[in-house]
Structure 1
Amino acid sequence: MEQHLGYPKHSLAGINSGNSRNGYSKKTVKTGAGQTEKAIPRDRNGEFEPQIIRKYQTTASELEDMIIAMYARYVYPGY
């Protein structure tokens, strides 16, 4: 969120900037191990786009596939 807004949390640079943090929203994500609830940060203008689990995405299958692939490369370097 700091990179998106351009200033750190509680910084005076955020005053009258036109956009600021606006808490978190809850999101239920389905994974291979079951459902989990995440707190997703949001901004006042609604312009923040989460990078790992995108807006309106309810499953983490792509994330799980990436983690498994990284693990496979670590365990089997020639993979």
Structure 2
Amino acid sequence: MQHTAILPTERRGSKAQIKLTDAQRLCVEGMKKLGWDIWFVRMTQRGPLVVVCRGDAMCTIDSLGNANFSSEVMVRHTDAN
């Protein structure tokens, strides 16, 4: 049986809860100790995909807890103008 961790988050003005798998939670906890922070979680057909960053570096963590440092996640940028 696989348990999930729940992260409270705000999404486009509404309250949402993101469920991470145990494997993702353990990976994220380890990466936080190394200075990485959760940037966002994207829901995919394969489950939640965690995107973490440290400085200009980005990494994704799949539902099995596998970290991918060469992921090609598309990130939308907005101008503050």
Is this a same-fold pair by TM over 0.5? no
Greater gyration radius: 1
TM-score relative to the length of structure 2: 0.29
Q: Which has more strand, going by share of residues?
A: 2
TM-score (norm 1): 0.30
Higher helix content, 1 or 2: 1
